[in-house]
Chains A and B, each alone.
Chain A
Amino acid sequence: MNGGAGGGLLEPRFLAELEAYRRRFRFPVRSGASGDRGGRRGGSSAEFLEHRVYSAGDDARRIDWAAYARTHNTVIKRFRAEEDAWVRLMIDCSGSMAFGEPTKHRRAQELAAALGHLALAQGERVDVTVGHEDRPRSSAMLRGGRALGSLCRSLEASSPRGAARLGSLLGAHTRRAGARTVLVVVSDFLGEDDAEVVFRQAAARGHVLYLLQVLTPEEADPRLLGDYLLEDAETGESLPFTADDQSLAQYRHRLQALQDRLRDAAVAAGGRFVATTTAEPLAVTLPRLLGEHG
């Protein structure tokens, strides 16, 4: 890591802004493993959760004798369990992410670093998976604010190349993961595979989905006019294309439909979908992702 805690991905000034989000935002799903935050289940922390009528088999050490003296009812005291959230950052590193200025891949790295920093600062567990083609590479499980450097190094170690296999990558993860996780997927979602099916499967397994679509301004609104021979950056396939009002309207319609499907999948999984462009500042994108409108 070079520079400060955020390396080259996060500027110190932006890190200071993230502190405000750290206090207001909380990842919505608990993994079930012990952590720093109180969970909905009963546990062994010092925080009182509720009284419950004693039943056979309960630990007699938990009977609240003071309550018995007042009410002559035998109740036991329950305390809140302390759990953490497992945040998995998945970055699309296919060749299509190399477009834009800055590149979509760079903007994806910055977004992932920002979210990872938030999670680490809140004591959550974080790991990073950078995926291109069928050889995804995952980092070790990271925890604590000091792990931000490792997080950034894992992110910066990737470079965009090859074709995207986002669907298969997600599918493998959701099948392996034993606990509910917060899945943050940063991609342009322009790959050929049908990742939306995997998104629904992940939602069914209790995973929360945060989907970030990063596009270039040209992809969001093509300024083409005339005859082109388009070449796919990932597959090398060529396509003659005549750009006119009609064809570009269809392009925009298709993009809108894709974004609608992604939004539906994210909302169904208790998360959020945000589309951004490389021209949009990070400080504008992140509040939208975290639900900070305005």
Chain B
Amino acid sequence: MRLAHPEGLALLGVALPVLLLYVLRQRRTPRKVASLTLFRRVERDLTAQRPWRKLLPELSLLLQLLLVVLLAVLAAAPEREGSLSSRASLGVVLDISASMASRRADGSTRLQRAAALVADLHAAHGDRLHLVLAGVEPRLVEADAVRMTLAELDAEDTGSDLEAAVALAEDRLRGDADAQLLVISDGETPRPRSRMALTTQNVGEPAINVALSGGKVHVNGEGRAELSALVTLHADAGVSQDVQVNLLALDGDGTPGATLDTRRLTLRAALRTPVRFSPANLAQGAYALQVSPGGALDRDDTQVVLVPAAARLPVVVVAEFQGARERHVLVRALLADRGVAVQAVTPEEYPRVDVPPDALELMVGQCPDGAGTLRPRGRDLVVFAPPPGRCFGATVEPLLREPRRVVGWRQHDARFRFLSLDDVHVDRASTLVPNGGDGALIEDRRGALAVDASTSARSVTVLGFTPEASNFPKQRNFVVWLRNLTELARQHRTQGSRQRIKAGGGQSVTVPSEVAVLRLRAPGLVDRKLDAHRGEVVLPPLPRAGLARLQWDDPSPMSLPISVQFADNSESVLRGNDEGSFDLTSAPGAPSRVLWTTERLRLLLALLALGLLAFELLLYGRRPSWLTWRRPLVPRRGQP
């Protein structure tokens, strides 16, 4: 038996004030007696005047001391050192979260130590060992594949769902009454609950770590890309460390190339320090921000960021122009933003224009939802006054030629930040019926004047009127609105998809709608073929952070880089728990020694403490006569 948290025994110190309370003389209880004759003793009277009294073996004191001892033992978390029975089935839940990749002073990782233990257990248990890998999703390893899996085992850049993994192991061991369940983890995740007798083996130890997070690209108003990230030192308070952060170019395979820029930082524990790079003439491509030295965990030392193809956001305006195109109200307002490159084309010219997949498209009088001749190609799309019928799922009613006044808009939507539509009125507009219940963006008394018709692959805004049919372009808010649209498009362009891609999650990315079949190359994953549907492809869970690529050959060979982010920043905090560390040198050939966390013992102790507390309260509140220690002297019959 050993204690996982021996510092918990410090609670025993509570016994001292408890004893003090019993030693200090309390206010005397007045009591009337028949006579003082038998009580009168001079020597005792002198003792009675002292401020303290003799410690009496009171039941209440013993109960309270026992309660303190129980609580201290509970806080110290007793564990029993023993050996696993090789004849019983053994479910092993192995934590493969990112923190398991952190290294010890001897260079081995937590996962390697854990895998060595599992291999040893497998030698003893053979087919009776059931291995469950606890990543972001639990995976059961078949008995004949355990050895091979352990040989190729690598931690994922995600957290771990130990609860789900334990549930899977329990399901596998169901019906086996003698089965044992062992969780091997580094203690960075909460202890899972289980219906079975659960034992945990900790393989972690506290370590200092430096982590990069939140890497992103921002294109400023001058079209210049800014790369930024946050650097955090995970260490005890008061610790500081000098690091340098490098900006590296990545080649097509994600291999780091030349260092483009460097920043030196002095980090303080638990404080996030921002780092920013803004080199001139940064070309399109993948870049890595890398911190050095990075500490015990390598996985969180690098952040991959993608710089878009053009520094300036491509914007395509499709409309029937009356007069000079640059005098069109949309073109004129967009040209005020130097960060955009505007193309103004007619619907007839549109199919022949090269539109980048990350472009913002504004179409007036047309609904390019694929049903007609026009097919959208940009990532963000704004449709003005589409013809009656269906448009991206929304229903467009016939044009109504009467003044309409805006009475409400979705103020919290990113498209309507920093503006007001209070004084906007429209001369002629079509009422729109959104596909979903909450799709309305702008409303008057008759219904919606603008709706959100976004799909998983594309952000789509549909307005039932043209800019010219309202007084909106004459207001300053019109420019703000367009700026919001371009800013949103820039964000989508930087991210490459609607959601931020994190390791471990199955997410979708946007590809050209003509692409049907493509290949995925991602770190920690075997190349695989994927199908795209209507410009969207759903990615499998990506186990490792870094640079992934989607490649396709049809209609033309192309590659789309994807930045896969480190999934869980909490994995960078290597508090560890070395109380349960074991000596690998003693393990081979012998029954594996593990520390059994005596959950049942703890539960028993807790119940006992609760019972003692209740008993003490009962004793304090109303002392039953049968609790009296001394038996009353009743004269025996026949006593002379």
Binding site for B on A (CB under 8 A): 95-97, 99, 104, 188, 190-192, 216-217, 219-221, 223-235, 237, 239-242, 244-245, 247-248, 250-252, 254-255, 258, 263, 272-277, 279-280, 284, 287-288, 293-294
Closest to B22 in A: A226
Map CB proximity to A onto B22-63 as digits: 1 under 8 Å, 0 otherwise: 000111111111111111110011011100011010100000
Closest to A251 in B: B38
User: Is B585 interfacial (CB-CB < 8 Å)?
Assistant: no
Bound: A294/B633 CA distance, A: 19
Write the nearest CB–CB distance from A266 to chain B, whole angstroms.
9
User: Is B281 interfacial (CB-CB < 8 Å)?
Assistant: no
Is the pair B633, A220 in contact by a Cβ cutoff of 8 Å? yes
Counting chain A CB atoms within 10 Å of each CB, which of B26, B33, B54, B634 scores highest?
B33
Is the pair B34, A233 in contact by a Cβ cutoff of 8 Å? yes
Partner of B638 from the list A239, A245, A288 (CB cut-off 8 Å) is A288
Is the pair B35, A239 in contact by a Cβ cutoff of 8 Å? no
User: Is B372 interfacial (CB-CB < 8 Å)?
Assistant: no
Q: A227-B25, A239-B39, A244-B54 are in contact. Are A294 and B34 (CB under 8 A)?
A: no
Is the pair B634, A217 in contact by a Cβ cutoff of 8 Å? yes
Q: Which 6 A-B pairs have the closest CB atoms?
A: A190-B35, A96-B34, A221-B633, A293-B638, A240-B48, A229-B28
User: Is B195 interfacial (CB-CB < 8 Å)?
Assistant: no
Interchain residue pairs with CB less than 8 A apart (8): A192-B35, A220-B634, A220-B635, A223-B630, A225-B58, A227-B28, A228-B30, A229-B30
Task: List the A side residues contacting B25 at CB < 8 Å.
Answer: 227
User: Is B640 interfacial (CB-CB < 8 Å)?
Assistant: yes
Is the pair A274, B54 in contact by a Cβ cutoff of 8 Å? no
Contacts A226-B29, A227-B26 known; 7 new A-B pairs at CB < 8 A: A220-B634, A229-B28, A247-B44, A251-B39, A252-B633, A284-B637, A294-B638
Task: List the B side residues contacting A227 at CB < 8 Å.
Answer: 25-29, 48, 53
Task: List the B side residues contacting A224 at CB < 8 Å.
Answer: 31
Write the nearest CB–CB distance from A147 to chain B, whole angstroms.
30
User: Is B632 interfacial (CB-CB < 8 Å)?
Assistant: yes
Task: List the B side residues contacting A99 at CB < 8 Å.
Answer: 33-34
User: Is B639 interfacial (CB-CB < 8 Å)?
Assistant: yes
Is the pair B634, A279 in contact by a Cβ cutoff of 8 Å? yes
Bound: A86/B39 CA distance, A: 37
Task: List the A side residues contacting B38 at CB < 8 Å.
Answer: 190, 251, 254-255, 258
Bound: A102/B39 CA distance, A: 23
Is the pair A241, B48 in contact by a Cβ cutoff of 8 Å? yes
Is the pair B635, A191 in contact by a Cβ cutoff of 8 Å? no
Counting chain A CB atoms within 10 Å of each CB, which of B29, B34, B40 scores highest?
B34
Is the pair A232, B26 in contact by a Cβ cutoff of 8 Å? no
Bound: A277/B635 CA distance, A: 8
Bound: A128/B364 CA distance, A: 128
User: Is B586 interfacial (CB-CB < 8 Å)?
Assistant: no
- The secondary-structure label for the interface of chain A is mixed
Is the pair B634, A191 in contact by a Cβ cutoff of 8 Å? no
User: Is B628 interfacial (CB-CB < 8 Å)?
Assistant: yes
Write the nearest CB–CB distance from B371 to chain A, whole angstroms.
94
Q: A226-B56, A279-B634, A288-B638 are in contact. Are A233 and B29 (CB under 8 A)?
A: no
Is the pair B635, A280 in contact by a Cβ cutoff of 8 Å? yes
Task: List the A side residues contacting B631 at CB < 8 Å.
Answer: 221
Q: A217-B632, A225-B58 are in contact. Are A230 and B34 (CB under 8 A)?
A: no
Is the pair B35, A233 in contact by a Cβ cutoff of 8 Å? yes
Task: List the B side residues contacting A217 at CB < 8 Å.
Answer: 632-634
Write the nearest CB–CB distance from B622 to chain A, whole angstroms.
15
Is the pair A288, B34 in contact by a Cβ cutoff of 8 Å? no
Write the nearest CB–CB distance from A2 to chain B, whole angstroms.
29
Task: List the A side residues contacting B638 at CB < 8 Å.
Answer: 287-288, 293-294
Bound: A97/B637 CA distance, A: 23
Partner of A221 from the list B45, B58, B632 (CB cut-off 8 Å) is B632
Is the pair A242, B640 in contact by a Cβ cutoff of 8 Å? no
Bound: A276/B49 CA distance, A: 34
Is the pair A221, B53 in contact by a Cβ cutoff of 8 Å? no
Bound: A234/B37 CA distance, A: 11
Is the pair A220, B30 in contact by a Cβ cutoff of 8 Å? no
Task: List the B side residues contacting A252 at CB < 8 Å.
Answer: 633
Map CB proximity to A onto B608-640 as digits: 1 under 8 Å, 0 otherwise: 000000000000000000001011111101111
Task: List the A side residues contacting B628 at CB < 8 Å.
Answer: 223
Chain B 324-345 interface residues, beta-carbon cutoff 8 Å to A: none
Partner of A232 from the list B35, B45, B633 (CB cut-off 8 Å) is B35
Is the pair A241, B39 in contact by a Cβ cutoff of 8 Å? yes
Q: A221-B633, A232-B33, A242-B53 are in contact. Are A226 and B26 (CB under 8 A)?
A: yes
Task: List the A side residues contacting B31 at CB < 8 Å.
Answer: 224, 228-231
Write the nearest CB–CB distance from A256 to chain B, whole angstroms.
10
Map CB proximity to A onto B356-385 as digits: 1 under 8 Å, 0 otherwise: 000000000000000000000000000000
Bound: A239/B638 CA distance, A: 35
Task: List the B side residues contacting A192 at CB < 8 Å.
Answer: 35, 37
Task: List the B side residues contacting A234 at CB < 8 Å.
Answer: 34-35
Task: List the B side residues contacting A229 at CB < 8 Å.
Answer: 28-31
Bound: A19/B45 CA distance, A: 51
Closest to A273 in B: B640
Task: List the A side residues contacting B35 at CB < 8 Å.
Answer: 96, 188, 190-192, 232-234
Bound: A268/B26 CA distance, A: 48
Bound: A276/B635 CA distance, A: 6
Task: List the B side residues contacting A284 at CB < 8 Å.
Answer: 637
Is the pair B640, A288 in contact by a Cβ cutoff of 8 Å? yes
Closest to B33 in A: A230
Bound: A223/B637 CA distance, A: 22
Closest to A160 in B: B34
Q: A221-B630, A228-B30, A232-B35 are in contact. Are A288 and B637 (CB under 8 A)?
A: yes
Closest to B27 in A: A227
Closest to A95 in B: B34
Q: A241-B39, A288-B638, A288-B639 are in contact. Are A231 and B32 (CB under 8 A)?
A: yes
Task: List the B side residues contacting A220 at CB < 8 Å.
Answer: 632-635
Bound: A216/B47 CA distance, A: 27
Task: List the B side residues contacting A294 at CB < 8 Å.
Answer: 637-638
Bound: A242/B29 CA distance, A: 10
Bound: A274/B38 CA distance, A: 19
Is the pair A190, B34 in contact by a Cβ cutoff of 8 Å? yes
Task: List the A side residues contacting B639 at CB < 8 Å.
Answer: 274-275, 288
Closest to A234 in B: B35
Is the pair B635, A230 in contact by a Cβ cutoff of 8 Å? no
Task: List the B side residues contacting A97 at CB < 8 Å.
Answer: 34
Bound: A227/B22 CA distance, A: 11
Task: List the B side residues contacting A191 at CB < 8 Å.
Answer: 35, 37
Task: List the B side residues contacting A95 at CB < 8 Å.
Answer: 34
Write the nearest CB–CB distance from A92 to chain B, whole angstroms.
11
Closest to B49 in A: A240
Counting chain B CB atoms within 10 Å of each CB, which of A96, A97, A263 scores highest?
A96
Write the nearest CB–CB distance from A152 to chain B, whole angstroms.
25
Bound: A230/B25 CA distance, A: 16
Write the nearest CB–CB distance from B43 to chain A, whole angstroms.
9
Write the nearest CB–CB distance from B363 to chain A, whole angstroms.
93
Task: List the A side residues contacting B48 at CB < 8 Å.
Answer: 227, 240-242
Closest to A284 in B: B637
Bound: A237/B27 CA distance, A: 19
Is the pair A233, B56 in contact by a Cβ cutoff of 8 Å? no
Task: List the B side residues contacting A258 at CB < 8 Å.
Answer: 38
Counting chain B CB atoms within 10 Å of each CB, which of A217, A227, A233, A242 scores highest?
A242
Is the pair B37, A190 in contact by a Cβ cutoff of 8 Å? yes
Task: List the B side residues contacting A223 at CB < 8 Å.
Answer: 628, 630, 632
Task: List the A side residues contacting B632 at CB < 8 Å.
Answer: 217, 220-221, 223
